[in-house]
Chains A and B, each alone.
Chain A
Amino acid sequence: MKKISIFDLTIFIGLIGVLTLFSKLNAATSDPAGKKWESLMTIINQEIQTIRSSTVSGPELRHRLFELYSEKIKLIKEKENNIFLKADPKRIAEKGKDYFFKSSTEQFNNSQNFGLKIVQDYPQYAKNNEIYYALAVNSRDYGTGKDSEKLLLLSLKAGTKNPQIAYNAKVGLAEYYYNEKKYNTANIYYEDVLKDPKNEWYSKHLYNSSWCHLKERNFKKALSLIKEAYQESNKKQNEGVKSQILNAIGIFFVQADAAIEGVDFYLKNAKPASTYLVNLAKSSRSKNDFPLTDSIYKTALINSIQEKNADQEISIRLEQLEFYREHKKTDLFVATAKELVQLNKKNKMSAENISAISNKIKELAGFMQVNLVKDKLQEVITFNKEDYNKIVILFDLLASLDKENRSLYRYYQGETAFSVADFKSANLFYSRSIMITKKTKKITPQTIKTIDSLLTSIEHTKLSKGQEDRLTIFALKNYLIFYPISDRSQKIYQKLFSKYFTLKQYKRAINIALVYHDKYPADQAIHKEMITQVLDAYIKTKDIENLTIWVNIIDKGFLHFPDTFIQNSIVVLGSLLFEKNQLLEKSNKLQEARAGYKAIFDSKFYPQKIKSEAAYAISSVYLQENNSQDSIVWFKKSIENYPKLDLMKTTSSIYNLAKGHRLLQNFKNSTEVSKTILTQFCTTNFEKKDDFYELILINSVLEKVSIKNILKLETEYSKCKISENKISQIQTDILLILITDDQYENLFSYIKSKELNETSKKMVHNYLHFKFWQDPKGKLEDFNNLTSKYPALTIDTIISEYDALVAYKEKVENVKFIFSSEEKFNDEKYNSELEQYLAILNNLTNDAVKLSKTASLEVVSELQNIIPTPYAALNKSILNFQPKGVDAAYLKGFNQGMRHISESLSAKILQFDREKMMFFDKNHFFFEVKFHAKLGTEKTNIEQILDFHPSLLHSKKVELSGEKK
């Protein structure tokens, strides 16, 4: 409350004669440091100078000087004040405020002393009351004001009675006492002052007096005075007070228990009334009469709405919020808050208003939240459901009003729901809070709390597995979005990865692993484990597409996986890629399988090794399709880029491929495959290495490659760490082929300058033995030459055996069984010769037996052919011999005796023949050497032509077609 002072006016009254000065003074106040100020100061100083320089001296002139001095105080003070306001605060602090007002203080002290000196020197001066009044005003305005009361009282007593000065002094005293809270004393002077209703300030004095009565709790008097003051203020001269009365009168109505009258007053007198009604309501609140105050607020509200004063409406509703909160009228609070939010939606409120509303709502919501659950330790939580709903609504309203902090309010809603164990709702609120944070990207300390709360709430909520997973993932994922790096992030990455992995959302799992890797590259071991898990899952689910992508990535060095792991992964990928095609192969859908492998080969997505494997598989399928030529083409494509180390691991398989070509009668391709592998890995040990060597050589022999080139191949590839045993075995096998195919010349080309193993030696020896005995005479010279060339083949034993046989045969052929024929038969001589011949036979037989003991089958066979011939010859000689000079009886007896011997010899010949057959049977040797020779080499008789029957010509192949018989 500010009262109107009339002291200022008295100054002007004192200076009424100096109108020019007055007008200039007013102008100077608006320009304290300018020209006008200087001009005014000059006028004052000139007048002072004029009065001082006057020889005439008296109380009137000194009174005038006092007035000029007082005026000068004002001017100086204005200037100082201007300087002070512009001064550096540091300087003010340093120097102190008084430093800036030295001149005015000095002027004030001089002026006051001068005034007091006047009344002291001229106690009977008629205008001393004016001087005292001016001193009082100066003291109040430029001094401490301590002596104002004394000076005013002196003004009432001194000088010639001047009603106007007395009136002013009383007004001054009333105001002084009012300010000193001496309301009763003040009212004593006001009573006098108010006796002049014509005073232009009458309304104001009524108003001031009403306040004094109000302070003295004279409520009815106070109301009466102020109402009168309002009536007086309607007069033109008192208009200035009117607004102050309208502002204040509400209190007076309330205090006088006339609030309803106050409402009517305002509705009647104030336009707009709502502002004053609010004040009335405010005042009414002190009466603690809720319905009364509420009705005033509502009247004010209606009024403001009718006035279409939105600001006022907001203001009233704000008041209402406060009012309802005080009276715990939460329903009304919520309803009012809703109205406010609606208002805000219609017309955007000022930030100040929004802040005010928000604060009020927050205050209540916070309070209600704290008090919602009384005993949180109870197993079954009890709470007021209405309050719970209201809290939620309040936070909804806050979220609507204060969009900047929407996330926070959703979090509070979540906390509220959590506190009453409404976990489903809590989950929803927390989630919304997180979503808002995600959208606004405004991370606050509450953000992490929200996520933690959501995770805890999820644990408490009875959710389906799917719902729980979705929510948990939501929380974890957003944690990482908000806090990609934090003290807990590493664990969260792992948790989220596990969650995705468990849910088989492998792409998401792997994405999390990637982000984790990006943020925490040092955790590479964990990242590897994660990727490994996902790769395993892709393998398990046969997700070839994703496995391909990841195998490519790790193959290019991502996470530095060990090479063995990468290779194994490629192998696994290969197996998955090939699995379908392998099944097609098994189902004999070879073209489809081949097309599948071709697609793998053509794709740019697969690692080179897989492509090489695909090419290999195509080669294999072509082989199954009996297409050796295309198979070798694809084999070459496979080999081109096949990693050497891996290729070396597949040699066993390639070996089978090589053999496959051979089964397709394509010995060249079989050899080419073998040469490719053996050449590539000549110095390294690998599976089937010896076998490739075997294929190269045996294929070449079967392909009738020249012996010269066979030997070159042997030399070239035997250097490739082929085992000695294999080299030796292949040598034997080659010899066996040459022997089987009767390549007599090639055989010698091959064994020339070669050291044969024992098996080979024996085999070649036997072959030569066989060849020799096919045509001993024809081969003899040749074999004699070979003996010295190939001593290791022991050809000499064949020849020596033959020589022994020939010698024996010659011996047999040289034996002549001729009996002496004399004119007179000499039986003694005959017997002697016969005995001798039989002894020769016996010796020849013994020789043959002796010879046959170490001889080959051919020799024994020949011996068995030779040995009967001397027996036959002797037999013939015996039968042809006719003794001479003997009688018929002797001759008969002789012939009879010789027949016995002949029969015995014939029996012996037959025995030899049987023995020969037994020998053949025993040794599986049925077809004698002599029949090897072709017919016609010797002169043949007609019977002998029957012997000619070349079995080869007549023999037949067995040709089975596979048809059932």
Chain B
Amino acid sequence: MKPILQNTFTLCLISLVLTSCSSEPIRENVVYNSPSNISKSLAACHQKDYSEGKENLEKYMSLEKANPIYWNAIGICYALSGDLEKANFFYNIGLESLMLYKAHNRNQAESALRNNIGLIHLNYNRYNDAYMAFTAALKLSPDLFEVQLNLSHLYLQFKHDDKALIILKNLENFRPGDVDVITSLALLYARSNEYEKALLTLSKINNENTSRPDIAGIYSYNLLKANQISEASAMIDKRTKQDEYEGYNQRNKILENQISAKLKEIESLKK
């Protein structure tokens, strides 16, 4: 009799490489079993209901274990909840799962994971690492809107305006009404003193979006530079208080002071 100890206990265990217990190759279409679950879970996490999001994802682990998109979703939920260590852990599991992932959107999945890892680097000011992650992501999936946009923001932050412009012009064609693309282009135009062009671009933004602190700021700046002082004043006043844009408060305050000074100057000239 042959001992079968190993067989007895090789009981469909999940390994990090996510091989199936039957040692059958992972099917290409295995990915699309529960897209709605992933979306639903992500929605819960975005609504800060992290437990529901993560637990919902947990229910499908066995089914989705070979799916990098699943691991990406878990990573996102952890990132949104502020646990970047675990987010990074699960993003990396997603990357490992790619070894056997043969679906058509493999590159897109890897691109997503690398982009999101790049965001973690960005969070800790590791700009070079973030840049490397974004460019790697873009190389895998050049058309992925978010990655292109992220790279353009990085360029904008570090004033590689010409590179940012190329990307943003491309994105403008792809999504003409995207508020982030428009705002970023407006910033670029302002930096090159093309205020009218910037205002023309900003005019495409829906009125309701102009209350966003960053948008109100850049809009107002261009109006100021175009000598539309009262409009600039009206625009800066439109901004609302939004926590995530808190970083813009100081900038907008400077701008507001400048506009106020200019208005006073005009008022005194009138007198």
Contacts and interface: CB of A to CB of B under 8 A. Distances in A.
B86 A702 contact: yes
Interface string B80-122: 0000111011100100000000000100110110011011101
B268 interface: no
Interface in A648-701: 649-650, 653, 656-657, 659-660, 663-665, 701
A940 B105 CA distance: 47
A742 interface: yes
B67 A962 contact: yes
A565 to B, nearest CB: 8
Given A656-B14, A665-B74, A926-B131, A960 B109 contact: yes
Interface stretch (A124-132, A212-220, A928-936): A928-936
A704 B85 contact: yes
A853 interface: no
B258 interface: yes
B38 A927 contact: no
B120 A585 contact: no
A924 interface: yes
A741 B84 contact: yes
Interface string A932-965: 1011100010100111111111111111111110
Nearest to B108: A960
Contact of B39 (A568, A575, A963, A964): A963
A702 B89 contact: yes
A925 interface: yes
Contact of A575 (B4, B61, B111): B4
B32 A963 contact: yes
B156 A951 contact: yes
Contact of B85 (A657, A659, A740, A936): A740
Contacts of B4: 571-572, 575
Contacts of B227: none
A949 B221 contact: no
A663 B84 contact: no
A539 B120 CA distance: 56
Contact of B150 (A565, A774, A956): A956
B5 A954 contact: no
Interface string A614-634: 001100110111101000000
A307 interface: no
Nearest to A623: B14
B31 A932 contact: no
B146 A945 contact: no
A539 to B, nearest CB: 7
Contact of A956 (B69, B89, B149, B159): B149
B137 to A, nearest CB: 8
Given A585-B21, A948-B247, A962-B31, A659 B15 contact: yes
B223 interface: no
A743 to B, nearest CB: 9
Contacts of B214: 953-954
Interface in B182-220: 184, 187, 190-191, 214, 217
A536 interface: yes
Interface residues of B, number: 98
- Interface hub of A565, A701, A935 (most chain B Cβ within 10 A): A935
B28 to A, nearest CB: 13
Contacts of A572: 1, 3-4
Nearest to B183: A954
Contacts of B34: 962
A536 B2 CA distance: 10
A961 B39 contact: yes
Contacts of A616: 9, 11
A582 interface: yes
Contacts of A664: 58, 61
A770 interface: yes
B269 interface: no
Interface in B102-159: 105, 108-109, 111-112, 115-116, 118-120, 122-128, 130-132, 137, 144, 146-147, 149-150, 153-154, 156-159
B69 A663 contact: no
B31 A945 contact: no
Nearest to B78: A665
A83 interface: no
A660 B156 CA distance: 42
B119 A955 contact: yes
Contact of A953 (B89, B244, B258): B244
Interface string B1-19: 1111101111111111000
Nearest to B159: A947
Nearest to A667: B86
A935 B246 CA distance: 12
- Interface hub of B5, B116, B126 (most chain A Cβ within 10 A): B5
Contacts of A770: 126
Contacts of B146: 955-958
Interface in A241-294: none
B136 to A, nearest CB: 12
A946 B221 contact: yes
Interface in B18-46: 21-22, 31-32, 34-36, 38-39, 42
Contacts of A395: none
A954 B178 CA distance: 13
Contacts of B36: 961
Contacts of A931: 157-159
B235 interface: no
A162 B169 CA distance: 189
A935 B9 contact: no
Contacts of B221: 942, 945-946
A774 B127 CA distance: 11
Contacts of B159: 931, 947
Nearest to A917: B160
A48 interface: no
A664 B2 CA distance: 35
B251 A948 contact: yes
A330 B219 CA distance: 141
A955 B105 contact: no
A586 interface: yes
B209 to A, nearest CB: 14
A626 B62 CA distance: 6
Contacts of B131: 924, 926-927
A927 B184 contact: no
B124 A620 contact: no
A657 B16 CA distance: 11
A621 B14 CA distance: 11
Interface in A476-519: none
B266 interface: no
B5 A571 contact: yes
B11 A949 contact: no
Given A539-B1, A663-B14, 16 more contacts: A571-B4, A585-B12, A620-B12, A624-B12, A624-B62, A653-B11, A660-B13, A701-B85, A702-B86, A927-B157, A932-B127, A949-B156, A949-B157, A949-B187, A955-B150, A962-B34
22 contacts: A539-B1, A571-B5, A585-B12, A663-B65, A665-B58, A702-B85, A740-B85, A931-B159, A932-B127, A936-B250, A945-B217, A946-B187, A951-B154, A952-B119, A952-B122, A953-B244, A953-B245, A954-B150, A955-B118, A956-B149, A959-B72, A963-B39
Q: Report, nearest first, the 4 A-B pairs whose CB atoms are least far apart.
A: A656-B13, A958-B112, A951-B153, A927-B127
Interface of A: 532, 535-536, 539, 565, 567-569, 571-572, 574-575, 578, 582, 585-586, 613, 616-617, 620-621, 623-626, 628, 646, 649-650, 653, 656-657, 659-660, 663-665, 701-702, 704, 737, 740-742, 770, 774, 924-928, 931-932, 934-936, 940, 942, 945-964
Interface of B: 1-5, 7-16, 21-22, 31-32, 34-36, 38-39, 42, 54, 57-62, 65, 67, 69-70, 72-74, 76, 79, 84-86, 88-90, 93, 105, 108-109, 111-112, 115-116, 118-120, 122-128, 130-132, 137, 144, 146-147, 149-150, 153-154, 156-160, 180, 184, 187, 190-191, 214, 217, 221, 244-245, 247-248, 250-251, 254-255, 258
